[in-house]
Amino acid sequence: MKNILITGGPVHAYLDDVKIITNRFKGGLMAKLAGEFVDMAENLSDAVKVSRGDKKADVHITYLCSKSSQQPMWSEFLGGEFTDHLTCIHHNGIDDYMRLVCELAPEMDAVVLGAAVANLIPKNKIEGKFPSHNYKPGDTIPIDFTIAPRIIDEVKKANPKCHLFGYKLLSGVDYYELIRAAYGVLLESKAVAVFANDAQDLMQKYVVTKERGVHPIHNDDVAQFILDRMDEQYYSTTSLSDDNVTDELKECKKYLNKLLCSHKCNFIETDEGYMFGSGAVKIDNIDGGGEIFVTTARGKQEMEDYAYVFEVDHDKRKVYCADKKASLNAPLFDYIFNRWDDVKQILHFHHQREDLLTYKYATPGTDADSIRRNVTGPSFNIEGHGCILSYSKGGELIK
């Protein structure tokens, strides 16, 4: 069973022992999300699942909110039916909320932070109750406010292995500013994805991912997106000695460098200084042990460093490479090289081509992204993640 922590509703800060600072949201959409997960987990008949398109999920939801927030429909707090798939926990303001998230996170497979936190809080809480009897109507009361700590930045410290999902809400901003703000949250928190939306349309979400992909989805599709990411298994890297790097591989590295430079205009550089895109060039392994190739290295500027990949074990999800850690696309490159013998070089850009088929998104560096048995050719688009272009030794595009 997968354990998921979901937070929702307003998270207030105390001005004094009685007054609070909060926002207008009640947490309806996050309570609905928790309820959708429970619906997936409850035993529905096969006929019902087929007719409604529901997918079963073996999950337990811990829902964290205040007592005044809207509760999930399955909640016993509302007199709902008992279910083994939901536990509701109530916090008592921002300090309690942050403490509970950090305490609960280590036991979770995923953490979904959708609560509307009062991030503008009094710098110093007034002890007791504010003495309003000492003031007259119209008096100005100087109160210093500060920006509250962001709990999303602490989750990975408490549980580095959990799947972390955040939300970024802005109001009345343009699309670019919304995506830029969401991506900033993702980078600092190390989240899997951040759901960005404008307060003027809460049902329209834009999922921003690590590779700065943007996936427009409806609010009703959020639960399935999260489950899909949780089902993915990541590849790990095993570093080999640089003694394995032959002169032939070094020459191949130079060739890849020239190839990437010739396509420099197709690579995307973000405001944060990241360069997105990658490539690979294969050398046939004369010892009969499979394929080896040179590819871009993992990092902020992928085109500035290179890695030598000697083997990818897809059963054990391991990448064996020398010099640097290979691009997250290395397992996918290996799969293409082995499936299509005539492919000798691959380029990956973060735009899509109208002349190629488009396949479902999966997180780079996972089994779902790498073992793509349903693709009909070595060149294709990936939803929200650009295109994969495969070429013959002579440079001809192979579709």
Whether residue 243 has pLDDT greater than 70: yes
pLDDT at 339 > cutoff 90: yes
**Which of the four CATH numbers 3.90.1150.10, 3.30.465.10, 3.40.630.10, 3.40.225.10 does domain 236-391 have?**
3.40.225.10
What is the pLDDT, as a whole number, of residue 48?
Answer: 42
Q: Fold for domain 2-231?
A: Rossmann fold (3.40.50)
Tokens representing 247 are 């002169």
How many whole angstroms from its chain centre is CA 267? Answer: 21
% of the chain surpassing 90 pLDDT: 60
Please tell me the number of Cα atoms within 13 Å of 386 on its side-chain side: 21
Has residue 239 got a pLDDT over 50? yes
Distance CA 364, CA 370 (A): 8
Predicted confidence (pLDDT) at residue 377 exceeds the cutoff of 80? yes
Q: Give 55's pLDDT tier (boundaries 50, 70, 90).
A: low
Side-chain-facing half-sphere of 225: CA atoms under 13 Å: 24
- E-assigned strands of 57-192? 59-65, 86-90, 110-113, 116-117, 120-122, 145-147, 163-170
Q: Could you state, in order of their start, the residue ranges of all structural domains in the chain?
A: 2-231, 236-391
Confidence (pLDDT) at 49: 46
Which has more pLDDT, 191 or 249? 191
Same fold, 2-231 and 236-391: no
- Arithmetic mean of pLDDT over the chain: 88
Least confident piece of the model among 54-68, 78-92, 184-198, 346-360: 78-92
The model's pTM is 0.87
Kindly state the average pLDDT of the residues 93-113: 96
Q: Give dist(CA 185, CA 183) in Å, integer.
A: 5
